[in-house]
Amino acid sequence: MKNTLRHTMFALLFAAAACKPLPPFHQNTTPNDPGKISRALKMIQLPPAKPHNATGKPLAIFQQASPRTAVAVDAATGAVLWRQPTPNAASRYVITGDYVVYLDKTQGISALDVRTGKPAWRSPVPPQQTFMGMSAAPNGKIAYVTNFKPAGDPLNQVSTVTVLSASGQKIWSLEANGRMGTPLMTDDVVIVPYRSQHLVLLSTSKPVELARILIPRGEVRYMMAMPEGIFFGDNRGLFRLGENVVEEVRNPPTAFVSDIHNVEYRYSLDRYDVVSVDYSAYDVRSLLASWMAGAKGPAVRGSRFVIHMFKYFLGFSVSEDRKATLQWAVMHPFNEDLIGSVAVGEHVFYAKANGSLECLRVATGERIWRTQSLDAAMRGVTFDLGVMAPPSSADVQSPLPLLDALTAIANDPDSRFPLAKRLAIDALAVVGGAGVGRLIKMLTNPESSPELREKAAKDLVARPDPQGVPLYLSLLQQPYDYIQGTRPQAVEVMAEVLGLLKTREAVPVLLQLLVHPQTSVRELLAITNALLAIGDKSIIRPFREFLLAYRADPAFSQDIHPLQKMAEALFKMGGPAERQVLVFLAEDGRTLPRLQEYILRLFDESRKNAAPASKP
């Protein structure tokens, strides 16, 4: 009996132990509990539509490159409010409440007074850990994540999320096996991306896991807290964090489709990428939009967004089926590098490396406002603008017409951004309306980049326009003249286009070029092909004379194709006289061997084809 009682007690104790809830941030916590998610979401306070800093003014905190200094600028006027050297700053500045917070390489998390720039408090970061980034809530609380890989082993890495109070006091800290990304902080809930596919919601006041969401497909690389909601996702698109998030993440995320290739961007900073900890060129490669809740998931305000690529902006409109159409493009000159940008309502604010701020209208691409340069080299900027509207200004600059702007981007002599150039070239093809004149201008402009020329050539060939024939011919009719510096232009492309159009009036022009000594062998081949495609009988005599004149010329021994094509044309279109010429070429010992072989093969194939036909 005693034994039975003992066994029962043991079983009850074991059961009780087994039912004990897992500690917060345990890797085995079951995700997607609808009740917990709902309760946690109710605790989230979305950021207000005003600046988060205690002054209430829109601010931009620049980081000067050398010496590394925090420069606070009144975003409404461009006036410098304060400067504070931060020589060991190793992260971007985070603005919240009374402080501007950053990671100091030697001191840990450090705060500057947002009003004066004076150092306020410090909080040490555990040594030997990799700082993954930090986030601040509007109420001033701060959360940061560090990562530790024992002996650099990525499989056994341990991440730690720490929450600090507005005054820098540690509230709690939690460790977990596996990798955490930079958290997203709200007043009462901190959302930590975990192991790429989890979102862990924790209370900011105590180490309690409120809910966990599993994203079965894709990853959680981007997270944004906006007055309209919290949005997250990866390069495939974004989801909005809501009551039905568990069901929604099983569907494809909200993304835009465009016919333009080479459009590469980020929705925001990558929370798993250590590069995002500090300012970098990634700050100027993003999709800028004011996100809001739409009927079918996240949507962009005004159905418009802007892609910021380095020093170029491209404005898109979005249709109901989420198809993005390029509307405008803006390029900045060579000496005007951009360091950061942000979408605020219907505007995009951006900062230049010289410390000035500018504003574009998302709908039109007009630059409607700008501040003076600070005459210093800045390496990054953090904005806290709220819903700032740009002050009215007479200094409005309209963008170039779209095709001109794209051409300018494609031809930008600044060779640092080939990706943007390829995008512009693709866009030129997609935007359409680039008529023959423009394509020819791109093709013949000596300043055109090789990629642009290639693209223009492809477009001309892909869509040969019969109305462009006079233009095509005018290019070919330019004389070879050393003194005037003229020569026929884009011969290969024009010949191909005229061949496709079967333009008979081009035959005399093409024949003139055929016999011209300065026509290159590649051009000769294109001309021969074009003349063959047009199929005019008047080509027989020039082809015959050409073949005879150059049949023994070693200059053609490397590239015999034009001669072979001409022989083929004589064979197909010529009469007995041409056959005699071909026989002579095939038999004469001085004819180039490859030409001889080709002609003999023509005769052989002709005989073979004729033989079955002659059989009864």
Partner 1 sequence: MKSFPAILFVSMLLPLAAFPAQAQQKASKNLQSADLDYLLYLIQGDNAQEASAAIAELGKRRTPESLDLLLTQLLLGYPPPMSRAMIQALGERRDPRALETLLFYSGHRSVELRTEALSALCELDIKDPAVQQRIDDVLLRALRDYDEAVRNKAAWLLGKRRVAKAEEPLLKLFERGSTAAMQALGFVGGIRTAKALALAMESTKTSKEPLITTIGTLLSRPDFGPEPVRVQLVKILGETNLPGAQNVLMTYHASGPDAFMRSRKLAYQILSK
Least gap, CB of 325 to partner 1 (angstroms): 46
Shorter beta-carbon distance to partner 1: residue 2 or 590? 590
Cα R_g (the chain), whole angstroms: 34
Which residue lies nearer to partner 1 by CB, 369 or 550? 550
Q: How far is the CB of 470 from partner 1 (least distance, A)?
A: 25
Of 453 and 551, nearer to partner 1 (C-beta) is 551
Residue number with CB closer to partner 1 (375 or 481):
481
If the CB atoms of residues 44 and 560 are measured against partner 1, the closer one turns out to be: 560
Question: Is residue 242 within 8 Å of 151, Cβ to Cβ?
Answer: no
For residue 215 the two structure tokens come to 């994203």
Q: State whether residue 459 is helix, strand or coil.
A: helix
Strand 378-384, strand 59-64: pairing: antiparallel
Q: What is the dihedral of CA 445, 450, 451, 454, to 10 degrees?
A: 70
Task: Find the shortest distance in angstroms from Cβ 476 to partner 1.
Answer: 17
> Out of 549, 580, 583, 606, which residue is the one contacting partner 1 (CB under 8 A)?
549
Tokens 């603008």 map to which residue?
385
Residue 67 vs 482, nearer CB to partner 1: 482
* Between 390 and 562, CB nearer to partner 1: 562
- Spatial neighbors of 600 by CB under 8 A, at least 6 apart, are 586
Q: Does the bond joining 517 to the residue before it have cis omega, within 30 degrees of 0?
A: no
Tell me if 586 sits within 8 A of 598, measured CB to CB: no
Reference 95, options 160, 147, 201, 166; nearest CA is 166
Q: How far is the CB of 527 from partner 1 (least distance, A)?
A: 13
d(CA 351, CA 97): 23
Under the binding rule (CB under 8 A), the answer on residue 446 touching partner 1 is no
Instruction: Show contacts with partner 1 in window 467-526 (CB under 8 A).
Output: 479-484, 487, 515-518
HSE, side-chain direction, 13 A CA sphere, residue 323: 5
Pairing of strands 222-226, 209-214: unpaired
Stretch of residues binding partner 1 (CB under 8 A), selected from 63-71, 244-252, 552-560, 565-573: 552-560
Q: For partner 1, which stretch binds (CB under 8 A), given 25-33, 150-158, 213-221, 544-552?
A: 544-552
Residue 548 sits in the site that holds partner 1 (CB under 8 A)? yes
Compute the least distance from the CB of residue 462 to partner 1, in Å.
32
Q: Measured from the CB of residue 587, what is the shortest distance to partner 1 in angstroms?
A: 11
* CA 589 to chain CA centroid, nearest Å: 60
- Six-digit token pair at 113? 């007074």
Tokens 């495609």 sit on residue: 533
C-alpha of 392 from chain center:
32
Min CB(552)–partner 1 separation in Å: 5
3-state secondary structure of 320: coil
Give the footprint of partner 1 on residues 344-403 (CB under 8 A). none
Q: Is the dihedral of CA 244, 250, 192, 135 positive or negative?
A: negative
Report which of 116, 123, 120 is spatially closest to residue 83, judged by C-alpha positions. 116
DSSP state for residue 182 in the 8-state scheme: -
* Location of structure tokens 């405008």: 328
Q: Is 25 left (phi over 0), alpha (psi -120 to 50) or beta?
A: left
Nearer to partner 1, 421 or 544 (CB): 544
Q: Which stretch binds partner 1 (CB under 8 A): 103-111, 286-294, 442-450, 549-557?
A: 549-557
The single residue among 553, 587, 604, 605 that binds partner 1, judged by CB under 8 A, is 553
Residue placing its CB nearer to partner 1 in the complex, 211 or 495? 495
Q: How far is the CB of 570 from partner 1 (least distance, A)?
A: 14
Nearer to partner 1, 126 or 593 (CB): 593
Q: Which is nearer to partner 1, 301 or 487 (CB)?
A: 487
**What's the min distance (Å) between Cβ of 507 and partner 1?**
18
Query: How many whole angstroms separate alpha carbon 121 and alpha carbon 110?
Result: 6
The distance of closest approach from Cβ of residue 520 to partner 1 in the complex, given in angstroms and rounded to an integer, is 10
Q: Show contacts with partner 1 in window 199-228 (CB under 8 A).
A: none
DSSP-derived secondary structure for 129-170: -EEEEEEE-TTS-EEEEEEE-GGG-STT-EEEEEEE-TTS-E
Residue closer to partner 1 (CB basis): 447 or 588: 588
At closest approach, how far in Å is the CB of 483 from partner 1?
5
Smaller CB separation from partner 1, 333 or 485: 485
| Nearest distance, CB of residue 448 and partner 1, angstroms | 22
Q: What angle do CA 595, 597, 598 make, to 5 degrees?
A: 65
Residue from the set 5, 17, 555, 610 that interacts with partner 1 by CB under 8 A: 555
Candidates 468-476, 497-505, 529-537, 553-561 — which segment interacts with partner 1 by CB under 8 A? 553-561
Which runs of E-coded beta strand occur in 259-377? 285-288, 291-294, 297-300, 304-309, 312-318, 324-331, 338-344, 347-352, 357-361, 367-370
Distance CA 58, CA 351 (A): 14
When the beta carbons of 554 and 616 are compared against partner 1, the nearer one is: 554
| Shortest Å, Cβ 545 to partner 1 | 8
Distance of closest approach, residue 518 Cβ to partner 1, in angstroms: 5
Is 550 a residue that touches partner 1 (CB under 8 A)?
Answer: yes
- Record the tokens describing residue 315, joined without a space: 């404005």
Residues in 582-611 at the binding interface with partner 1, rule: CB under 8 A: 584, 589-590
Number of residues this chain uses to bind partner 1 (CB under 8 A): 24
> Phi and psi for 287 in degrees, rounded to 5?
-95, 125
The runs of H, that is alpha helices, within 490-560 are 491-501, 507-515, 521-534, 540-550
Instruction: Give residues in contact with partner 1 (CB under 8 A).
Output: 479-484, 487, 515-518, 545, 547-555, 584, 589-590
